[in-house]
Amino acid sequence: MAVLTIEGGKRLSGEVEIHGAKNSALPIFAATFLCNEKCTLQNCPALSDVDASIKILKHLGCKVVREGDQIEIDPTAAHNCTIPDELMREMRSSIVFLGALIAKCGKARISYPGGCELGPRPVDLHILSLQKLGALIDERFGSIRCRRVGRLCGNTINLPLPSVGTTENIILASVTARGITKIHNAAREPEIIDLAGFLNACGAKISGAGDSVITIEGVEKLGGCTHRIISDRIEAATYMAAAAATGGEVLLKKVQPDYVEPVFYAFREAGCELEIGADTILLRAPARLNRIKLIRTQVYPGFPTDAQAPMMAMATVARGTTMFIETIFQNRYRHVDELCRFGANIKVEERVAIVEGVDSLYAAEAQATDLRGGAALVIAALAAHGESKIGNIRHIDRGYAELETDLQALGAHIKRVDY
Ligand code: UD1
C-alpha cells in the first residue's frame, strides 16, 4: 500500500507539461474496437484507468503495443464480446464499451461499471438510447446482455440531460448503424469533439460534435488512423489550483486554453493573473487569495464538476467565503470531511458547500475518497504547514499521470512511500 507524504508550505513555481486527457482517451480506446485497421493513439497518459482500458481491449482480442505515450491498437483479430465483472468494476467509463461491442459483434455481455462513488450514477440513459437504435437489452443479476438482429438502425434521440457517457455510447453504437442518428441535447464537452475527430479520421460521418445537436450518418465500416489525444483540462485546472493555493507562479505547457476557459473567471476573481498563450497558461497568484463568490458546476461550457474539489481546496485558504453549488452529481462532497482534517472550515447542506477561508491549514493525515477529491487533498497538503500523509491514493492514480515528478519539478516536497 502506498501513501503520499507532502511537506507543505512551499510556493510552487516553474513549468509543467499537461498530459493527454483521461476522459478523451477512454472512449477513444472503446472506439478503436470498432475499427478494421490498426490505430495509433498519441499523447496517452500513464494512468491506471488507461491500463484498465488496455486490459479490456486485450481481453476482447485486440493487440495492444504501448511505447511511451503512444499506444498502437490492432483490433482486426478481436473476437470476444463479453467484459468480465472484475474489468468492468475498474472504472465507470467501461460502460462506453457497450455501444462499440453491440455495433461490432452484434451481441455483448457486461456487468455494471465501477468508478468513483459520487452518488447514484445510473446507466438508464445509456440503455434507453441503445434500445432506440434497435438493441435488445436484458438487465439481470447485475449484468447487461445486449444483442441486435441485423444492423442497428439510426434514430432521433432526445436526451433528458446532456450526459457525456451516453452521448459517447450513442456515437459509438450509431457510427456504423443503418441510416442517420440525431442526438438532441447532446453533451458538448471537448472530449466528445475529440471522439468524433478520431472516428471521422477513421471514415465516420459525424457532424455537430461540440454542439447540442450531433448528426451521425452510419457508414459500412471504419478504417484506422493516427490520432493525438487532446490535453487534459481537469489536470490543467488542478495544477492551477495547486499553484494558486501556495501563492505560486506556474506555466502550464501543452495545454488547450480554450477548453480550460470555464475555470478562468474563478482564478481571476481569486486575484490570480493569467496570461494565455496558444498552448500555454501562466498563472501568477497573489500572496493571499481572495474569495470566489460562487462556483456552480455545470455541463460544458460551464464550470466543470471535476474541478470542484481542487478549487474547494484552494478556496479553503482564501480571504472570505466561497459558495459551491454542485449541480451534476448528488454526492460530490466526500472530500469535505477530509479537507476539514487540515483545518478547513466547510459546511455542506445538500448540494451547497460554504467554505470560510482560514489563514492557514495545518498538516494532517487524510484518505482520498475519489479521484478529484484525492487531488483536493494533495492541494490542501501542499498549502498546509508540516508533513501530511495521504492514503488510498489508487483513486488519484486513476487520473493524474506523473503527479509526484511534476509537483517536485515545481518545488513541492512530495514523495510516494510504499508500506
Ligand atoms: C463523465 C466524466 C466525469 C465527469 C462527468 C460530468 C468520463 C470518463 N467521465 O462522466 O469525469 O465528472 O462526465 O462532466 O468522461 N446520468 C443518469 N443516467 C445515465 C447517465 C448519467 O442519470 O444513464 C446522470 C449521472 O448520474 C450524473 C449526470 O447524469 O448525475 C451526468 O453524468 P454523465 O455526464 O453521464 O457523466 P459520466 O459520463 O459518467
For a pLDDT cut of 90, what percent of the chain falls above it? 92
The model's pLDDT over 317-334, given as tens digits with 9 standing for 90+, comes to 999 999 999 999 988 999
Ligand 1 geometric centre to CA of 26 (Å) = 14
* Candidate of 163, 296, 306, 333 to mutate for ligand 1, largest count of ligand atoms within 8 Å of Cβ: 163
The model's pLDDT over 5-26, given as tens digits with 9 standing for 90+, comes to 999 999 999 999 999 999 999 9
Report whether 173 contacts 97 (CB < 8 A): no
Measured between alpha carbons, how far is 391 from 153 in angstroms, rounded to an integer? Answer: 48
* pTM, rounded to two decimals: 0.97
Q: Which residues pair with 110 in a beta bridge?
A: 144
| Closest Cα to atom 37 of ligand 1 | 165
Q: Which three cell numbers stand for residue 157?
A: 434521440
Confidence of residue 122 (pLDDT cuts 50, 70, 90): confident
Measured between alpha carbons, how far is 313 from 297 in angstroms, rounded to an integer? Answer: 15
Atom of ligand 1 nearest to the CA of 304: 14
Mean pLDDT of 382-398: 96
Q: Which residues pair with 176 in a beta bridge?
A: none
Measured between alpha carbons, how far is 368 from 338 in angstroms, rounded to an integer? Answer: 8
Contacts with 121 (C-beta within 8 Å, 6 or more apart), sequence order: 92, 115, 329
Mark whether 116 is an active-site residue: yes
Confidence of residue 119 (pLDDT cuts 50, 70, 90): low
Burial of residue 65 (number of CB atoms within 10 Å: 0-12, 13-18, 19+) = exposed
Query: What is the predicted pLDDT for the residue at 405?
Result: 97
Confidence of residue 113 (pLDDT cuts 50, 70, 90): confident
| Closest Cα to atom 5 of ligand 1 | 164
Ligand 1 geometric centre to CA of 164 (Å) = 6
Residue 271 has pLDDT above 70, yes or no: yes
Query: What is the predicted pLDDT for the residue at 121?
Result: 63
Residue 419 has pLDDT above 90, yes or no: no
Query: What is the predicted pLDDT for the residue at 96?
Result: 92
Ligand 1 geometric centre to CA of 372 (Å) = 14
Q: The cell 440513459 sits on which residue?
A: 125
Query: What is the predicted pLDDT for the residue at 118?
Result: 57
Report whether 175 contacts 218 (CB < 8 A): yes
Atom of ligand 1 nearest to the CA of 128: 23
